[in-house]
Amino acid sequence: MRFWISLSLAWALLAGAALAQPLPIRLDEAQLSVTIPQSHDSQDAPRELGRQLLPWKWDQNFPRQQGVMHFKLDVPIEQTLLTQLKADGHQGLGFSSLQMGNRYRYRINGKAWHYVGWNQPNTQFRTGPRWQLLPAHDLQAGANILEIDIRAEPASNAGLARIELGDEFTSLAEHEREVNHRKGLALMSGTLSALIGLMALALWWQSRDKAYLITGLGQACFVLWQVDFFVDYPPVPTWVFNGARSAMYTYYAGLMCWVSVLLVRKPAPWLNRLLQIYLWTALPTLAAGAALQDYRVYERLWIPASLLLGAVCMVRYTHVMWKKSDGTVRLNALLAGVTVAFGLYDLVVTFSPSGFGKANLLNYAFLFYNFAVGMMMVRNYWSMQNRLLRVRYESSLKVKQATMIERQRMMQDIHDSVGSQLVALLSLVKSSAPQEVLQTHTSEVLDELRIAVDAIENVDGDLAVVLATMRHRLQPRLDAAGVSLVWEVDALPRFELLTPKDIQHIQRILLEVFTNIIQHAKATRVVFAAHCELPDDAEDSPEKTDQGRKRVIRVSISDDGIGMASAITRGRGLANMQSRAEMLGATLAVVAGEPRGTAVHLAIPLH
């Protein structure tokens, strides 16, 4: 008996289940009328728009206007479904939509309104899926009328997507899954992007490489853009929030394109110009669009523009980077390509009527793309560090080599001049030479040593300093000999390739001249002049003047002594000076002075 009862119950249940109305019930058509207030006070009559297919977007039909949409939807409900609800103890039916907003209220069968954000000043009910409960006691068998009034803000993505009525728990669970999925994705990409952005800014701080700064700013835009997913009632007017949001996206895309251009490192003036136009015009037009509360400038201009620019940059980037057989670079290039593909797909879907309220594929692509950017950045930083280390190593090698050569030269100098003179001095001391001879000889050794030290001094290629140092050393001797010196040294151009060896040649020549003046010329007045000029022959041929860098430094020392009869023209002195001048690449002339004395002219070409 019991068995039969249970069997018939089970049968009744099965039959009931089979007969009950299938869930969910999909509604994709509604009777629509809209109210658009012409002014604040006037009570405007609703305009009938007849039956409309869902999704229905406000901005596509009434751009730049505020208003209220009145949707009336027929919901056929069978008695079996109502019985079922009661039997299961459910409170009612869940109804969900991927997009319903901005602010709205709804009621079923003319019962009490349920308000959602209806009186909030600013709303952001645009991107999120919505779920509401239709209470069972308001439902009736047969035709039910579901009324949804939606207040639309201009440029706020207002409208109504398709509606599904389903089992209270199943549809709620589905709705929550959708919400969590979207927010989770936004949270994940936002966090990742924030990390990458901070890293980029830190690297920029250290390296001052523009690419890092732009990456950091781009990622900051991305992070701010993600805020959109978490704010239902922003503290600023909706249109301001929307303007900022669209600017964030537009600049994220633009800045990342810029980074790709910088990373490619191949000049492309047209692309730079395009980028400049993009970055400079985006903000004013977006601001104007937001202020006029017209979303189209963003949707119809900047989203396509960003995707097209992105496509150009990323295809170029992919093309260039793919050729470098480096795993990270290739992965980066690949993900850049995927991002653009997803974006273009989204563009097509977003513009199709059925796309309203669907989650964008681009969001996934961004997650991966940002990750790839982070990877690329770390890789670049490492390679830069390695390059830097290598350069440092190489330059330290060069320094070592130069030091070695310089050391050899100094050893040679010490050996040739100071060493041999000291030995000679020692022999003088041993042979009990007179006091004056010893003193003169010792002073000479000291002078040799000073000249050697002066030649090592770094003068930064400033020949005037070399000449001046010579004077500084010789002045006491000139004073002692009663010779007055007239000094006329101009500021001379830098002589980048002036080596210690060159300096030594110049010193030796000058020393020879001055020694001669002090010891033999019987002069009382010496004029020392140095200036820079173009060579004489440069003046008559224009080509040579063109390469006017071939300038000459002229040094002249003229005395009023006994003239050519003095020792300078005799013996080793002059030959020595000539050979040193030759090694310098300079010319040396010793001529009779005007009206008397000797003049020495040294012409050193700058090269």
Partner 1 sequence: MKITFVDDSPLMRQTIGHVLAQGFPDAKITSFETLGAALVFAGEEEQDHWLIDLGLPDGSGIDLIRQVRERFPLTHILVITVFADADNIVNSIQAGANGYLLKEDMLRAQSLTSSIEAIREGGTPLSPVIASRLLARMQMLDAPAAVKNEASRQRQASAQPAPPDAPAHGLAPREIELLLLLSRGYTYQEAANLMKVELGTVQTYVKRVYIKLAVNSRTQAIFEARALGISL
CA-nearest of 203, 319, 304, 183 to 261 is 319
Judged by CB under 8 A, does residue 487 bind partner 1? yes
Residue 479 binds to partner 1 (criterion: CB under 8 A): no
Subset of residues 541 to 580 that bind partner 1, contact rule: CB under 8 A: none
How near is the Cβ of 556 to partner 1 at its closest, in Å?
15
Strands (E), 420-524: 484-489
Q: What 3-state DSSP class applies to 20?
A: coil
Q: Which stretch binds partner 1 (CB under 8 A): 300-308, 321-329, 452-460, 505-513?
A: 452-460
**Alpha carbon separation from 108 to 56, 148, 249 (Å, rounded):** 20, 9, 39
491 binds partner 1 (CB under 8 A): yes
The single residue among 403, 412, 475, 579 that binds partner 1, judged by CB under 8 A, is: 475
Kindly indicate which of the ranges 158-166, 303-311, 450-458, 500-508 contains the residues binding partner 1, using the contact rule CB under 8 A.
Answer: 450-458
d(CA 508, CA 575): 12
513 binds partner 1 (CB under 8 A): no
The number of residues that bind partner 1 (CB under 8 A) is 25
CA distance 581 to 264: 52
Q: Taking CB under 8 A as the rule, does residue 469 contact partner 1?
A: yes
Q: Measured from the CB of residue 202, what is the shortest distance to partner 1 in angstroms?
A: 14
- When asked if residue 34 is in the footprint of partner 1 (CB under 8 A), the reply is no
d(CA 186, CA 8): 52
What are the angstrom distances between the C-alpha of 582 and each of 68, 505, 558, 585, 603? 97, 10, 21, 5, 11
The closest alpha carbon to 445, from 471, 467, 413, belongs to 413
| Part in contact with partner 1 (CB under 8 A); list of ranges 412-420, 456-464, 567-575, 594-602 | 456-464
- Largest Cα span, the chain: 155
The first and second tokens of residue 589, run together, are 């002339």
Binding part of the chain for partner 1, among 120-128, 165-173, 449-457, 510-518 by CB under 8 A, reads: 449-457
Nearer to partner 1, 489 or 562 (CB): 489
**What residues does 48 pair with on adjacent strands?**
33
Site membership for partner 1, residue 421 (CB under 8 A): no
Stretch that binds partner 1, among 10-18, 423-431, 462-470, 565-573 (CB under 8 A): 462-470
- For position 457 contacting partner 1 by CB under 8 A, the verdict is yes
Separation between Cα atoms, residue 98 and residue 114, nearest integer Å = 19
How many residues can be counted in the chain?
607
Cβ-based nearer residue to partner 1, 93 or 470: 470
What is the C-alpha separation between 85 and 342, in angstroms, rounded?
Answer: 42
Output 204 or 251, the one with its CB closest to partner 1.
204
From 34-42, 64-72, 173-181, 447-455, span contacting partner 1 (CB under 8 A):
447-455
Span between the terminal Cα atoms of the chain, in Å: 121
Question: According to the binding rule CB under 8 A, does residue 448 interact with partner 1?
Answer: no
Of positions 145, 449, 527, 529, contacts partner 1 by CB under 8 A: 449
| Near partner 1 in 154-213, by CB under 8 A | 206, 208
SS3 for 233-264 is CCCCCHHHHHHHHHHHHHHHHHHHHHHHHHHH
CB of 429 to partner 1, least distance (A): 15
107, 409, 471, 522: residue in contact with partner 1 (rule CB under 8 A):
471
Choices 21-29, 464-472, 511-519, 598-606; region in contact with partner 1 by CB under 8 A: 464-472
Q: Does 450 bind partner 1 (CB under 8 A)?
A: yes
Cβ-based nearer residue to partner 1, 112 or 453: 453
Q: What contacts 37, CB < 8 A, 6 or more positions away? A: 44, 66, 67
Pick from 198, 240, 344, 489: which binds partner 1 (CB under 8 A)? 489
* 248 near partner 1 (CB under 8 A): no
In the bound complex, what is the minimum distance in angstroms from residue 592's beta carbon to partner 1?
26
Q: In the sheet that 56-57 helps form, which strands lie side by side, from edge to edge?
A: 56-57, 159-160, 100-101
23 binds partner 1 (CB under 8 A): no
Pick one of 454, 502, 512, 560: the residue that binds partner 1 (CB under 8 A).
454
DSSP lists the bridge partners of residue 104 as: 116, 150
Shortest Cβ distance from residue 410 to partner 1 (Å)? Answer: 14
Burial letters for 316-350: b for 16+ Cβ neighbours within 10 Å, e otherwise?
bbbebbeeeeeeebebbbebbbbbbebbbebbeee
By CB under 8 A, name the binding residues for partner 1: 206, 208, 446, 449-450, 453-454, 457-460, 462, 464-465, 467-472, 475, 487, 489-491
